[in-house]
Chains A and B, each alone.
Chain A
């Protein structure tokens, strides 16, 4: 009886996840807290990174769909009764460019400080086994507060966005003023909500330090938040460019 399924042992070099040479780690099912004891932390880091990559794909789809709506709505004509003709109703928005440039700089700098936090905790993790050897001391080193600085800059960016919205309102551009202004608020708002999620993750990372969670767990939180944060910075540049140059 024929089958397409290979039954012979599969060569190791052909295996992806699910086939490796080493025995797979066993961790408990949910509820057991096994995931926090530092065992299989390389696997947990890999899974967390994969999870963030998948989450980023979902966020990309949200912005892709918003972008398609932006482009389609931009080209739609509307019927103008007085002239009995179809006209473009897209409208103009005067963006507070200087303020948005400052916000962009703040976010980009926060991306750098986030990378600093990620590298710092990676270094700590790498040195942890050495520190644990009895009699070995690497001395107390002063650590720059990368994480705290990133939180401050992240909140600063969000505050800057609030200022930008106030400035837009002061200039007479509200959400329903015209389709262009609707999309400006929509894009910046949805981005801000996603970035606020990143700030919450950073605060959680800080909390894990205060709660004396294992170094490995802290590293995982900071590492994946860093990747998400970099993506948020890139996404903002995309949003800003779209709103400024494709209007």
Chain B
């Protein structure tokens, strides 16, 4: 093991600089993690209110009373926005990426620690702003997480479209700026701070996934920021970028000539890559965990890297498939359809490589492994409905139904969440120095796995049967009456699944303080974070600089005492 002791830096001692305005990427990673944990409970609570309302529409619920249709749309909007931005984008990239990318490449910190801190606190301000939308006059906006104008661009379009919508846009714009700062740091760190011997093709697939995600974020969030500025101008300065000649409540507004489609193009140019921003880190973690717990090298490392690059590249060319219903030339629709189906190729490569990794492996079914397998399952189940929706003809039938809700919740929502859970259970020992409880972890997995399938699979049938989405009250729609039992089933499943998340939270906080002490490498993993102390010291490697001699997944190596090779083991160690 070649290391060089040179400098040993000292951690800050004061509480404020150590835990609040810290420049340490590990503390910032934890801050992101707990921010996302808070956000996910808010988002889940909103979804619970929606599910209960759909089945018992006249029930008076705690905190909100009886839910009116406008409030239902507000819940829908805020659930989507909080989950997409402050959970699915924040936890995998801001949380785990921040904590582990520098350690996995052998760096002492991010390239720009001050920018890193600013990035987190900017995200925090964005989160506060979006929560504030609940409490202002008119309440939260009701234009959906996609913010389509003219609903989102006209203040008088409905309750919540006043100050609440302005706060929503400001929050998203601030989130964009924070994400751009984060992307800048991730890209520079990956390109410039890798330890000696850590070539690009020796980087763990987690690092690749964070790196590619950062590139996607860099190119996508600027576009959403621009779109948001135009929307704010339409709302507050009287411009007509998105708003055509329009009559609201019998009054002709001053706008004319704008195009709601312009927003849709700009939004989805961001929105589709955002799907991959949410899911790519989950792919990285799944690869890492499957290889570790199957005790086999990842099947087709290079193919996995190129598949992620292809997915990222193609992700920028398919935004139009969200707009088949919005009016589009059939030729454009054909191109977007074809390119969308092309994404199936790298996705299939990844799936078969994950299966190939597990094939004939000596699988250790610990909780991280269960969630990684769950990720693969959900990725396949949610992904297979993608080619259906990629067909313009089918999409016109299915677009405004629960089929789409089921599709994107499985692939983008739950699969990404399973990636976050796999990462949490896998890296918890390194982050907190203790082990999580396996029994509780397995109970959490099975309840969540079965529960999420029970919630989202029936949505596909609901959609094919013509069950429309976004309606607040199906009990009043005659032709949908026969589908109400499915709604009831989904609501019960949602209540049980959400309740089972308490198992996770109890396990998380109990283990943080009372769990058994973890060794430096409890999973017998090979990447650099497992070569340092648990939890890692302030400068990650205690004054040493690792030198990398091996690839990231050297498991099942014959002729070695341990059966695996750490990345910084001497070069003379026999390998595959």
Contacts and interface: CB of A to CB of B under 8 A. Distances in A.
A148 to B, nearest CB: 25
Contact of B240 (A50, A66, A179): A179
Contact of B230 (A16, A25, A69): A69
Interface in B1-40: 4, 6-12, 17-18, 22-26
Interface string A38-81: 01000100110011001101110110111011001100111100
B188 A5 contact: no
B113 A31 contact: yes
Interface in B208-226: 218-223, 225-226
A170 interface: no
Interface string A12-45: 0011111110011111111110110001000100
B194 A29 contact: no
A9 B549 contact: yes
A78 B245 contact: yes
Interface string A149-189: 00000000000000000000000000110010010001000
Contacts of B548: 18
Interface centre among B24, B200, B539 (most CB of A within 10 A): B539
A138 interface: no
B565 interface: yes
Nearest to B27: A30
A132 B18 CA distance: 37
A17 B302 contact: no
A83 interface: no
Nearest to B296: A1
A29 B11 contact: yes
Contacts of A28: 7-10, 108-109, 538-539
A54 B188 contact: yes
Nearest to A7: B575
Interface residues of B, number: 98
Interface residues of B: mostly helix, strand, loop or mixed? Answer: loop
B191 A17 contact: yes
Interface stretch (B144-152, B254-262, B341-349, B368-376): B254-262
B553 A18 contact: no
B533 interface: no
Given A26-B4, A79-B245, A89 B262 contact: no
B551 A24 contact: no
A2 interface: yes
Given A15-B199, A62-B226, A4 B112 contact: no
Given A30-B109, A179-B239, A50 B192 contact: yes
Contacts of A65: 222-223, 226-227, 266, 269
B241 A7 contact: no
Nearest to B111: A47
Interface in B157-215: 180, 183-185, 187-188, 191-202
A237 to B, nearest CB: 20
Contacts of A10: 197, 199, 202
Contacts of A50: 111, 187-188, 191-192
Interface in B274-323: 296-297, 300-303
Interface of A: 1-10, 14-20, 23-32, 34-35, 39, 43, 46-47, 50-51, 54-55, 57-59, 61-62, 64-66, 68-69, 72-73, 76-79, 89, 175-176, 179, 182, 186, 190
6 closest Cβ pairs, A-B complex: A28-B9, A5-B551, A18-B194, A30-B23, A78-B257, A7-B575
Given A79-B244, A182-B233, 8 more contacts: A1-B557, A5-B297, A19-B194, A31-B12, A31-B22, A32-B10, A32-B12, A61-B219
13 contacts: A1-B296, A3-B297, A3-B301, A3-B576, A18-B200, A20-B196, A25-B6, A29-B11, A62-B223, A65-B227, A78-B244, A176-B239, A186-B230
